[in-house]
Structure 1
């Protein structure tokens, strides 16, 4: 077969170009530190690397989201700590106000300090995060969630939802609490509260409300203790009404008389008037709704007014007893919500650890796909260099060959 000189030149040039291309490719790999510089180098590895890159970017977004969630929860936990301190101070003041040795001026002084606690709680309830969003307004965070209406009563205008944030692919976490859940709710274990009718004209006071039998058929319902003159017109009788009618009745003797009904018991002292009543209901029910601000408003109002008559003293005593029980429930609720925020902070630490491990796995997978083995690459670089040099020398030797040199 006859091979022309042109064919020899073309094949030598193609071989030299191929060797040079391979040599430059390895040089690019060493310079970039990647074995897949262009998708054409390894299409399958390049495609997988794109997917891993996307997964790493998503994981990084979740990491940033957890930073934001941690800041919100840390601020929530800090504010709730201040709220619990304020409620504890209010309880201390109510215990102090319960002393029979205090004068009206002393109680008014306590009322003034309670007003300070009240205003502090309003400020804490309207706290904001670092972005100016209200912590306790739910998704309605464009305005303070708690405000005073024209009557000076604090109302809630946020929503009942806790603001949530996606902190991982399979976890959407509440990062702030609803104001209702903190200031207008009670813990699930909250028990009964007694409250005297504000229209009472006698001086009956209550104390010692406790649960005696939670298995009673009527336990959990709401009750009303009413006082009426007996048939003879001398003395009084009491009647306890429940949702299905009368539960208990009997002669009222006063002076620490204990009555039992619906699985609970109540101690009564003093002299009632015809039609006086005391309601007993579960905390947080429709009959005894939970509201920390209304509790403080009620006790501030009763402490500001002089208590000269027996009826006024009884109203003072009953309001203090009711308010102290409500503050106990409010404190338990705040501590429960605070514990929940702390638990979520701990959960974020766990999710962070999982996210870090996931990122390490992604980085290792990406490295296996595209990163260069320098020892192998340098060996190949040397081999390609030798091949290129041999190809160049062969071309030089070949082009100098001519039949005319021998003629």
Structure 2
């Protein structure tokens, strides 16, 4: 068989190109640190690597979402910490204001301090995060969640946000609330809160006290004040958890009967159909009704009332701002020193103190919930960190380069390339004319 010179040259060049291609491939692997530089190098490993890379990207997105969630929760938790401090300061001022030794000027000074706390709480309730969204407005970001309303004395507030809770997905299977709405924080009480008493009547007394109307109710005309309670004494009572109105009926001789009535003025009945309370009133006597006790002192007027409601009842005041407004309006009134006015003053202060206790408990409960969510973010971060390590290891096993093997291959390919080049030089120099 005759082998032409062209055939030898073509085969030598093809061999050099093949050796040079293999050498270049190993060089690229060493330079990039990857065994799979192109999908064609290992299609199966390349395909699996794409899936793992996508999973890593999704995990990183959730990590970024957790950073945003942590920032929102941390800001809201900080605001609630300041809110709790403000409520505590308000309670301290009300304890000071409850002293009978204070003059009208002293009480107005306390009212001025309370007004400052009130304004501070409004600002805290309308706080925003770093992105301009209101922390406690739900999904309503076009206006502050708490708007001022006109009224006597200190202006009131109205919640303009929604009752939704803004949520963010922090992991594939976890949708976490990152902000609580303002109604749940500033206008709610925690479950299990006790009873709250309000001394007020729906009809105007025959002799107006001059204390005005608050929330559609009039101040009692008599001097009855509650000195203790309402306290839970029997949670197993069938009527426990219901709302009552303690109403005084006073005859012409001044003898008073106290009875428990509902919103329609009818007796509240027990399981046997008997009134749960219908007895002569004795000042200083502790009254037990529906598993709740309350101690009343003073002289009632006909029609005077005390509303006893569970703190979470729809008709009970759960609004932190209304509690403060009632206290400020009361402290700014001129105290005439009459027993009736002193009783109204004491009753309102006692009611507001109990309402502030419930509001503080609620704020601390929400704050504790936020702290738990912050702890959960740390746990999810730790789990996601381990997951990312597993992804990195899997990717390394699939596409990363074994440098010791690659360097050996590099040396081998270099020798092969040099050998093919030497062979080509030898073949190129062979000619029959050298021997003629």
Q: Which TM-score band applies after superposition, normalised by the shorter structure?
A: over 0.9
Match of 2:247 in 1: 226
CA deviation profile, 1:6-54 (whole Å, cap 9, x unmatched): 4333333222211111111001111111111111111112222222222
Matches within 5 A, 1:283-298: 283-298=311-326
2:135 corresponds to 1:114: no
- Partner residue of 2:237? 216
Alignment match of 1:389 (pick from 399, 409, 418): 418
Q: Which residue of 1 aligns with 2:373?
A: 344
For residue 238 of structure 1, report the CA deviation from its aligned partner.
Answer: 0.6
The corresponding residue for 2:208 is none
The reply on whether 1:299 has 2:327 as its aligned counterpart is yes
What are the superposed Cα offsets for residues 269-328 of structure 1, whole Å, 9 maximum, x if unpaired? 111111111110111211203000000111111111122222221111110010000000
Structure 2 CA distance for aligned equivalents of residues 402 and 104 of structure 1: 127
- Name which of 248, 262, 283 aligns with 2:290: 262
Structure 1: gaps (5+ residues)? none
Is the CA contact 1:182–1:337 (under 8 Å) kept in the aligned structure 2?
yes
Higher alpha-carbon deviation: 244-253 or 17-26: 244-253
Provide the TM-score with structure 1 as the length reference.
0.95
Matches of 1:268 and 1:359 in 2, distance apart?
66
- RMSD over equivalenced CA pairs, Å: 1.7
Q: Secondary structure at the match of 1:175?
A: strand
Choose from 256, 259, 282 the match for 1:236: 256
Task: Measure how far apart 1:4 and its partner are.
Answer: 4.2
- How many residue pairs match? The answer is 405
- The match for 1:128 is 128
Distance of 1:75 and 1:394 partners within structure 2: 75
Note if 1:202 corresponds to 2:222: yes
The answer (yes or no) to whether the contact 1:135–1:141 under 8 Å persists in 2 is: no
Cα shift at 1:404: 4.8
Q: Is the 8 A contact 1:241 1:247 kept in 2?
A: no
8 Å contact kept, 1:26–1:377: yes
- Identify the range of structure 1 (161-170 vs 1-10) with the bigger mean alpha-carbon deviation: 1-10
Deviates more, 1:243-252 or 1:96-105: 243-252
Q: Deviations over 1:189-221 (max 9, x none)?
A: 211101111432111111321001111111111
Q: Is the 8 A contact 1:222 1:287 kept in 2?
A: no
* CA positional deviation for 1:79: 0.8
Written as runs of structure 1 = structure 2, the 5 A alignment for 1:306-317 is 306-308=334-336, 309-317=338-346
TM-score with structure 2 setting the length: 0.89
Match of 2:203 in 1: none
Structure 1 runs (4+) greater than 3 angstroms displaced: 1-9, 242-246, 399-407
For residue 207 of structure 2, what is the aligned residue in structure 1?
none
What runs of 5+ residues in structure 2 fail to find an aligned partner? 201-216, 270-274
For residue 172 of structure 1, the aligned residue among 172, 175, 179 is 175
